[in-house]
Structure 1
Amino acid sequence: MDAFHRRGFLGLTATAAALAGAGCYPRHGNGPAGRSPAAPDLADPRLRAMAGLPQQKQLMLGYPVNMATPPPEFFAWRRELEAVGLGQFAFNNVGDPYQHSHIAFNTHMFERELVRRFGALYRFAAHDTWGFLSNSGTDSNMHGLYMGRTILSGHAGIEPNIYFTKEAHYSIQILADLLGLQRIDVGTHSDGRMSAESLAQRLSEYPNQPALVVATIGTTFKGAVDSLDEIQAALVGRTAYVHVDAALFGGYLPHTPFAARLWQRKDGSSSGAPRYDSIAVSCHKFFGFPSPAGLFISTHAAFAQFHELFSQVHDPEYLQQVPGTITCSRDAVKPAEFVFFSTDRAFARQRDDAEQILRDTSYVYDQMQTHFPELSPVRASPLSNTIYFRQPSEEIVDAYTLATMTIAHEGKREPHAHVIVMPHATREILDNFLTDLEHERAG
């Protein structure tokens, strides 16, 4: 039998039993290494109820969150930040980080550094980059869509339609509704990526309206990657703004042989043709940042157009600048902390993590194809760390916190689950998951 089956990790019965009756804070009786961790001496019963969470975090396979604890150097950096008051009293990043702030208690210099470093990874031209750190990936998407709508409606004199697929993150639907935009559904290929033919057809139905197109680099459930070049080809001759939602994949693709799929400039040089106008990347997904935050990066040209129109309507004089952000007060601690993840050493760690997750995704996919063909496992492309398959038992879904959806398969809709291989998911944990699938089938 295969290597995963020969290993004696947690079986389904042990995992399921440990989860039974766990409520909101499930606790496994034994960690993956077979240890029973000692509960810390906690006075607050709410904290005691959470005491088992650190020992089970590596079992979460269904959502795009890196549960690995950051290295000790990160917490040393936090202590340095605390020494100058960050996290000790009120700091606020209100305003445009590229303008002078009347409020000295900010970390705008860290925001500019983040945008510069990550902008270079995504091959934005150095002279044509703007951005900031937002509260979340959805917050970054909101700024991208608002910027696009403002630019397109301001210059065309008519509201744009918004084009995206059913595979896009659900927040895009909410934001389209929030902004009062007419949603135009675009078809997909079987793997979940946007169909350029469908996009061209839908665009032709509205020849006089500008187009706000959302490209997803790593769709929520299937892990598909929309082609920026195909989207640009469909938009030739149209007034358009392209926003990229790369919440998870934007973290690791720059460190892989597939980096060019995410480049803002077609050939990666400052003279290359632009392929999109703004991008949203989540900090808490691939990177392992311990709280939700998001990168928002746009071209400076797009921001300048937006800011000119924005300033005609909004002028918070008491800030002594027109910030160009939707949110007023913004977190100053997160940019200062997240800059730790933008150093050369951090990028080296991220390259290792990116290599690991794609290698281990290939491993799990091969094992599932070989040993569990009845689950019909699918991996959208070699770029993806996501595998989706027919939904297993509720015990396995709960034990590994698998996300589930009902999707079309072979002409009918069936419940599916997916595994997203993140840096915290060791080969042992993945083998444990495969062994539990085998136990379920045998039982």
Structure 2
Amino acid sequence: MKKYRLAAADAASLNELLTQVQTQTRDFLGYPVSKDFDYSPLLPFLQYPLNNLGDPFVPSTYAVGSREMEKQVVSFFADLFRAPENNWWGYVTNGGSEGNLYGLYLARELYPKGMVYYSEATHYSVQKNLHLLNMPGIIIRTLPNGEIDYGDLENTICMNRHLPVIILANIGTTMTEARDDVKRIMGILKHLAIPHYYIHADGALSGCYSAFLEPRPAFDFADGADSIAISGHKFIGSPIPCGVVVAKKSNRDRIARSVSYIGSMDTTITGSRNGHSPLFLWYALKSLGRNGLKERAMHSLAMAAYAVERLNENGIPAWRNPGAITVVFPDPPANVRRKWQLASESGCSHIICMPNVSKEQVDEFVKSFVDAMALV
């Protein structure tokens, strides 16, 4: 078999890209991406076209994939999220946005005339997903910390009580990592005597570790969620963006259809699905286990508390939500934002203390922030 060979100029371009990626990866703090993984034992699998097309729980005529590992990954999170016994299903997605699309898709099929409610702090992908699904939605105000305004939510639902309610709950908003309280939302629905509802929880970042917090936030199936989406490349870490969506199997059954061509069921958003990402997640979960994930969470929380303390000591009014690893502060000078790749919105920026963040990195960031402010 003929091997691919690059011309000298193209090989140089590749090496240049590698150097750039190494440098940019070292210095970023502004995005929720873990970079402390080592999947080198899985390198041999990159020689094979792993494709988990179709339903991960239904065999396919295409047998080069990682279905068994994918099923174990979904099972792990179904258990972590207290999904109903014998009534859960899921798959490994391309990321949190696809997981949100899937949850909304199930909700629409269950309640075609439903109204979607989501806060103004909801991830930008949700409005796009609603447009793709042709679903109506109403934006709800947020509280100062980024959490949904429960009073505004109740009043708005009350004005549309004749429609089924579809809630997009944020389990960690993009800028402040605020968590919407699913149990409190359920209380609102009960108080208004809403008979038909669906709650999807967007836990892209903090869904992976919210179960380990004390007190445990109300975010999962036992609290009232009907589906939950998380990102895999964020808290766990992966070289390829990925995620997991877990839903009630009874709702998934409403959209399933058999496809003879692949010998499986068409139950996911995409047809062909990346078979390498489930392998990365499986490797990480088997290596870490629940205890390892909890240790990562405790380290991140400790680093976030340290960052708030150090920034405040230097006169920078930083804060974070309870149980959050996201630290919020006023926008620093542009050169600081560029160096640390900080996301900004409405005059505020944040750093996210992922499991790879150390005290030394926090100290370096604080020093660069203070030094830049002294020059303003």
> 1:47 aligns to what?
15
Question: Where does the alignment leave 5 or more consecutive residues of structure 1 unmatched?
Answer: 1-41, 154-158, 267-274, 407-414
C-alpha displacement of 1:257: 2.4
Q: From 33, 41, 52, give the equivalent of 1:65.
A: 33
Per-residue Cα deviation, 1:161-203 (whole angstroms, up to 9, x for no partner): 1110110100001101111111111122111101222111111
Task: Give the superposed CA RMSD.
Answer: 1.9
Counterparts of 2:92 and 2:156 in 1: how far apart (Å)?
Answer: 34
State the one-letter code of the partner of 1:404. S
> 1:243 aligns to what?
200
Please list, as runs of the form range in 1=range in 2, the aligned pairs for 1:320-331 lying within 5 A after superposition: 320-331=263-274
1:176 paired with 2:130, answer yes
Identity of aligned residues (%): 26
C-alpha displacement of 1:383: 1.2
> 2:91 aligns to what?
132
Counterparts of 2:373 and 2:270 in 1: how far apart (Å)?
Answer: 51
Counterparts of 2:334 and 2:32 in 1: how far apart (Å)?
Answer: 20
On the 8 A contact 1:162/1:211 being kept in 2, the answer is: yes
Per-residue Cα deviation, 1:327-347 (whole angstroms, up to 9, x for no partner): 111111211222012226343
Please list, as runs of the form range in 1=range in 2, the aligned pairs for 1:1-400 lying within 5 A after superposition: 43-68=11-36, 70-71=37-38, 74-76=39-41, 78-79=42-43, 82=44, 86-153=45-112, 159-236=113-190, 237-238=193-194, 239-266=196-223, 275-304=224-253, 306-307=254-255, 311=257, 316-343=259-286, 345-373=288-316, 376-379=317-320, 381-400=321-340
C-alpha displacement of 1:398: 0.7
**CA 1:112–1:259: 2 relative to 1, 3 Å:** farther
State the one-letter code of the partner of 1:332. G
State the one-letter code of the partner of 2:95. S
Counterparts of 1:196 and 1:75 in 2: how far apart (Å)?
Answer: 46
Secondary structure at the aligned position of 2:337 is classed as helix
Secondary structure at the aligned position of 1:276 is classed as coil
State the one-letter code of the partner of 1:319. I
Counterparts of 1:208 and 1:202 in 2: how far apart (Å)?
Answer: 12
Counterparts of 2:61 and 2:207 in 1: how far apart (Å)?
Answer: 33
C-alpha displacement of 1:134: 0.8
State the one-letter code of the partner of 2:199. V
**CA 1:102–1:258: 2 relative to 1, 3 Å:** farther
State the one-letter code of the partner of 2:313. T
Secondary structure at the aligned position of 1:360 is classed as helix
Counterparts of 1:93 and 1:123 in 2: how far apart (Å)?
Answer: 25
Question: Where does the alignment leave 5 or more consecutive residues of structure 2 unmatched?
Answer: 1-9
**CA 1:296–1:49: 2 relative to 1, 3 Å:** closer
Counterparts of 2:267 and 2:14 in 1: how far apart (Å)?
Answer: 41
> 1:39 aligns to what?
none
C-alpha displacement of 1:127: 1.6
On the 8 A contact 2:49/2:65 being kept in 1, the answer is: no
Q: What is the TM-score normalised by the length of structure 1?
A: 0.78
Secondary structure at the aligned position of 2:156 is classed as helix
1:441 paired with 2:370, answer no
- Count of aligned residue pairs for this structure pair: 363
Q: What is the TM-score normalised by the length of structure 2?
A: 0.91
Per-residue Cα deviation, 1:18-67 (whole angstroms, up to 9, x for no partner): xxxxxxxxxxxxxxxxxxxxxxxx94234224315324523211111112
